[in-house]
Amino acid sequence: MLEILDLHVSYGRVRALHGVSLNVTEGAIVAVLGPNGAGKSTLLRTISGLLRSRSGEIRFQSRPIHKLSPTEIVRLGISHVPEGRGLISDFTVLENLKLATYIRRDRNRLANDFERLYALFPVIRERQKQLAGTLSGGEQQMLAIARALLTRPRLLLIDEMSLGLAPLVIVRLFDILRTINGDGTTILLVEQNARLALQVASHAYVLENGRVVIEGRAKDLRHDPRIEASYLGISRAGDPDESVS
């Protein structure tokens, strides 16, 4: 579904991505892991058209998209939930949701889509008239995901979904991701919580310093010593460090 070939991205003279290549199979959840500054958010922003690559290619459904505008990319079926959620804090929950519908041509299906979202996120229905900025962190993340789903994406990009959230909220959000994926949406997930990301993903990539340094099936990487030591907090002796998520 998504193919990234030898992607190079820079901020001015600073190289952020160095020849990154990866694939996302239709129907899968693919995780991208790595330390802060590894280039994970840059990767998603480049896929969604918010950044331009210096070289390389991005193909979606076999079509090159790396020269398209963000709006054109959304229309093709890619929606991006950014780090920080990107909500308008002084708009209501409903107003934030409606922002996502401006590209929709099938207006007759919106009512049904809203009902599906409210079933998936009951708190969003309850908070429709509340200002987005007054929601809890978990509620804001649910709103950001719900807004992205209103574009009816084939591929959902999610950047650091669990950042700053309570453990129970994080578990709930990962359960929701499974449901979204089960309903047919492919997901590319940038995530700091490697343990949960590798539980829901079928495949994973690890970025360091803008390069892919590890890739493979998620179930294999859960037991890879390099992943255990760096991201799961498990020593070579097999003792978990519960302070690391």
- The phi, psi pair for 131, rounded to 5°, reads -65, 135
177: number of Cβ within 10 Å: 23
Which of the listed residues 152, 183, 208 is the one where a domain comes to its end? Answer: 152
What residues make up the domain containing 38?
Answer: 1-77+157-245
- Count structural domains, the chain: 2
166 lies in the same domain as 233: yes
The DSSP string of 115-152 is HHHHHH-HHHHHTTTSBGGGS-HHHHHHHHHHHHHTT-
Which of the listed residues 152, 175, 195 is the one where a domain comes to its end? Answer: 152
Distances (CA, A) of 238 to 5, 166, 193, 223, 228: 36, 26, 19, 10, 9
Could you tell me how far CA 203 lies from the centroid of its own chain? 14
The answer to whether 166 touches 134, Cβ cutoff 8 Å, is: no
Name the one residue in this structure whose structure tokens are 């950001």.
144
84 lies in the same domain as 136: yes
Instruction: Output the six-digit token pair for 120.
Output: 């998936």
Along the 245 residues of the chain, how does pLDDT read in single tens digits?
Answer: 999 999 999 998 899 999 999 999 999 999 999 988 899 999 999 999 999 999 999 999 999 999 999 999 999 999 999 998 999 999 999 999 999 998 888 888 899 999 999 999 999 999 999 999 999 999 999 999 999 999 999 999 999 999 999 999 999 999 999 999 999 999 999 998 899 999 999 999 999 999 999 999 999 998 888 887 777 665 444 443 433 33
26 lies in the same domain as 109: no
Query: Which has the closest alpha carbon to 78: 91, 87, 69?
Result: 69
1 lies in the same domain as 70: yes
